Amino acid sequence: MTLGEKIRTYRTRAGMTQEELAAKLFVTRAAVSKWETDKGYPGIDSLRLIAKQFSVTLDELVSEEDAAGERRLQEAAAKKMYVLAVLCFAAAVLFAVSSLLTEQPLLLIGAGAGCLGYLVFAWFSRPRWRRCAGNIVYRLIVFAVMAAVIIAVTVAGVV
């Protein structure tokens, strides 16, 4: 979808005429018409106002890619990473319990690898734009519990 098509789509969804949009952007109706027919392009100041008017990012407005499609792909990839994080967590617990039951301390290497895998996949289990937002405390608590289980199994195996 071209920039002009996006502007037209956002404008019609908002129920605005070209004149109303032009008044809000401090330009003429002819300028809006040129933009929508891809015969001209707005300046950076107008692009910022357009993005603000329609509550979209500049990237969503000017990129050739479909931003919603990109987000869906990132969310699907994040779900796969979540499944891998859960599998790593299960593997860490399995290795730790196996080490305790078989009295083989070398199995704790697998438990440590499972913990590391959990941390990596848990980090990527959120879409890129939400990675650093919240949930870090939860992940640290889970990691602390995993480390405590491994330490407890190690101490029990040594004693």
**Cα(101)–Cα(18) distance, rounded to whole angstroms?**
74
Tokens of 143: 């990691």
Express each pLDDT in 98-142 by its tens digit: 888 888 878 888 888 888 888 888 877 776 555 555 566 776 777
Tell me: pLDDT of 75 over 60.
Answer: yes
Please check whether residue 111 is in contact with residue 96, taking contact to mean a CB–CB distance below 8 angstroms: yes
pLDDT at residue 50, as a whole number: 93
Chain centroid to CA 138: 17
Of 68, 40, 63, 66, nearest in space to 51 by CA? 63
